[in-house]
Each structure stands twice: as C-alpha cells, then as structure tokens.
Structure 1
C-alpha cells in the first residue's frame, strides 16, 4: 500500500504523520531521516493493527502542490 505522508519542519527537527493512519508519527533531525523513520512507523503501525485484529485503513489521502 502507498500512503500519503506529511513532513513538516518543527523547530530544529522534522516531524511526519500519515493522515490515513491516525497516531502514526515520526520525528528525526533531518528530512531524510524522518522519511526513513516514518516508513518504519507505518510498518509497525500496520503490524499492530493486524495483531489486534483491527482493519488496516485503505490509503485515501493524496497530496498535491498548488501554485498560488
């Protein structure tokens, strides 16, 4: 599955979250590191949902850049 991920600068580090997986977040000192961390977080989150017998949400969010 392919999930949309939002990466934001948060002061001196970066944070990331997955809109379709509430509670799935990561932080790291660089954008590159937070990308790696959120990949791991997504896998861990989905494993936890399956282990608990909960449904795994289908990816429905998408991200676009808009010129203003």
Structure 2
C-alpha cells in the first residue's frame, strides 16, 4: 500500500539533506534535489519495512504543516517541502 509523508529538504552549500517529521530518525542526503527525493524514498521505505518486521506500530502521515523556526540554520539557504509517496508494508494484526 502507498502513503504520502511530508518531507522537508534543506539545501546546504553543496547538497541537500532531508527528513520526515512523522518518521523521527529517518533522514538522508543527496547531491541534488532529484537524487535527494530518490534517497529519501528509499530511506523511508527501508525504515518502514524494519518497523513492520519488528512488529512496531507503523507511523502515520499526520503532519500537515511545519514550523521552520524550530530548525532554522544559517547554512541552509532554502527549504523544499513536499508529499513523498512511499510503499508502506501491510502489517498483519495479531489475532486472538
């Protein structure tokens, strides 16, 4: 199944970094925006697969806005925010 998660990309002097507010700890880096999108998609899908394998609760895409005041860094010259569609593993619910 596919879901869209908000992702925030930060443009630094020589590359982009990215993260998703709904999936703490999952982030990536890419040379340009297109590579960053591909790297972030792969990162999120791997992270969500690991969560599913461990039987942990699957994070939901609930963030609809982001306060840049929380992360504003001098070395970032601009941000890009988008909804990134990723493949989310279907989790088997335990039966009694």
- With the shorter chain as reference, the TM-score category is 0.7 to 0.9
TM-score under structure 2 normalisation?
0.63
Unaligned runs of 5+ in 2: 67-96
Pick aligned residue for 2:15 from 6, 13, 16 = 13
| Greater fraction strand | 2
Quote how far apart the aligned CAs of 1:62 are.
Answer: 2.0
Correspondence for 1:44: 46
TM-score under structure 1 normalisation?
0.87
| Greater fraction helix | 1
Counterpart secondary structure, 1:41: helix
Measured in 1, the distance between the counterparts of 2:65 and 2:35 equals 20
Quote how far apart the aligned CAs of 1:11 are.
Answer: 2.2
Q: CA RMSD in A?
A: 1.2
> Aligned residue pairs: how many?
64
Unaligned runs of 5+ in 1: none
Measured in 1, the distance between the counterparts of 2:52 and 2:25 equals 15
Moved over 6 A (4+): none
Quote how far apart the aligned CAs of 1:8 are.
Answer: 0.6
Measured in 2, the distance between the counterparts of 1:11 and 1:56 equals 34
